[in-house]
């Protein structure tokens, strides 16, 4: 069994289709050609060079290395890793079908393999940093082999997606482009910050962090005392002394499982009880699909923040946070050249 990383679009625009269709797609634009006829890599490279004549030779070679596997290297029983762009989670599937080319499909869904998504919405924080580095490859498709990743991921799956206590391996030497593609430094940095925060800000301390972010955004904040709070961890409002609008009721969840629909429904009830105009549900480990499906329906009433959203708010308001909180989360800005990555 091998483990393959797939990405569902640069911004996760194909993620829902991957999951709903129970497939992985090769999402190169205009690639309406049967890849099963190109078992010879050099012939595939020649074909792609003709189809994408405006691209640089190195780009075409890189694309060929990612396009080839779906038809010729990925096997039934292999596992698929699909990092979510919608939340701080990762989806896992097992390939159950052969390569299919459908020339009549809409662009770019010409190529697919059927997949059993056996584990979805697994929090990124559950994984060791070196595994997350592999998940953070810039490439759309690549095989994950470093650091005994295959066995470690299988062990986690058998252990309810918790890391077994074992010494963390250091990085192995690079072997080929499919196993050692360029790491997304920004994503790796966010993962490191995320792990640091959840280690220091569990439970009530996470509520304090959200409270401080809301204060930095200009709200007057009431933070319930530790213990039973009736579902209103934080109340926030604008205007003098918090007597203006918007009036927001906030619930904060820092446990290691995604929040489900009943928690969202509970927030709606508490909002009515306290007279809040809007709600904010914060779940460090993200949200189950039953909650994600409600984003549109609740758009004018409730906002959902996962770890990525909290980190974004932390970045955007860092200079306005108290010196005490800045000392607890010491960050610095680093400028670097932008890399658009591949496909």
**Residue 140, helix vs strand vs coil:** coil
183 or 171: which leads in pLDDT: 183
**Residue 87 pLDDT level (bands cut at 50, 70, 90):** confident
**Residue 308 pLDDT level (bands cut at 50, 70, 90):** very high
Average pLDDT, the chain: 90
Options 2.40.50.100, 3.40.50.10710, 3.40.50.920, 3.40.1350.10; CATH for 200-328 is 3.40.1350.10
The 10s digit of each residue's pLDDT in 41-84 is: 999 999 999 999 999 999 999 999 999 999 999 999 999 999 99
The 10s digit of each residue's pLDDT in 136-174 is: 777 899 999 888 888 999 999 999 998 876 544 443 333
Is-above-0.85 flag for pTM? no
Contact 270, 278 (CB under 8 A): no
Share above pLDDT 90 across residues of the chain, in percent, rounded to a whole number: 74
The 10s digit of each residue's pLDDT in 240-282 is: 999 999 999 999 999 988 999 999 999 999 999 999 999 999 9
Range(s) of the chain covered by CATH 3.40.1350.10: 200-328
The DSSP call for residue 54 is: T
The DSSP call for residue 126 is: G
Range name among 10-24, 55-69, 74-88, 121-135 with the lowest pLDDT average: 121-135
Q: Which fold has domain 3-183?
A: ph1033 like fold (3.10.590)
Range(s) of the chain covered by CATH 3.10.590: 3-183
Helices (H), the chain: 15-21, 41-51, 57-67, 69-72, 129-135, 149-158, 185-200, 204-216, 261-274, 289-292, 307-317, 323-328
Per the structure block, which two tokens stand in for 156? 């986690």
């Amino acid at each position: 069994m091998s483990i393959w990383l797939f990405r569902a679009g640069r911004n996760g625009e194909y993620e829902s289709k991957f999951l709903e269709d129970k497939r992985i797609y090769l999402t190169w634009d205009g690639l309406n050609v049967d890849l099963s006829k190109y078992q010879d890599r050099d012939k595939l490279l020649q074909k792609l060079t003709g189809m994408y004549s405006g691209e640089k030779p190195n780009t075409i070679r890189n694309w060929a290395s990612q396009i080839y596997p779906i038809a010729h290297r990925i096997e039934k029983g292999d596992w698929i890793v699909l990092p979510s762009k919608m939340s701080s989670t990762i989806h896992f599937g097992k390939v159950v079908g052969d390569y299919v080319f459908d020339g009549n499909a809409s662009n770019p869904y010409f190529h697919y393999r059927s997949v059993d998504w056996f584990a979805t919405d697994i929090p990124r924080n559950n994984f060791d940093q070196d595994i997350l580095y592999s998940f953070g490859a810039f490439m759309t498709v690549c095989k994950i082999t470093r650091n005994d990743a295959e066995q470690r991921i299988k062990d986690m799956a058998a252990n309810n997606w918790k890391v077994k206590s074992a010494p963390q391996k250091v990085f192995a030497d690079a072997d080929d482009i499919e196993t050692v593609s360029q790491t997304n430094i920004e994503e790796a940095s966010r993962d490191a910050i995320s792990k640091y925060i959840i280690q220091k800000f569990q439970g009530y301390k996470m509520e304090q962090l959200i409270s401080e972010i809301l204060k930095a955004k200009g709200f007057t904040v009431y933070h319930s005392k530790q213990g039973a709070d009736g579902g209103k961890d934080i109340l926030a409002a604008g205007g003098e002394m918090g007597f203006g609008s918007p009036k927001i009721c906030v619930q904060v969840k820092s446990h290691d499982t995604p929040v489900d629909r009943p928690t969202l429904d509970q927030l709606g009830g508490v909002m009515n009880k306290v007279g809040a105009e809007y709600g904010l549900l914060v779940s460090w480990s993200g949200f189950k699909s039953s909650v994600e499906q409600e984003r549109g329906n609740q758009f004018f009433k409730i906002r959902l923040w996962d770890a990525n959203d909290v980190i974004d708010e932390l970045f955007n308001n860092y200079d306005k946070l108290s010196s005490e909180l800045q000392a607890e989360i010491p960050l610095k800005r680093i400028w670097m050249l932008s890399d658009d990555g591949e496909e």
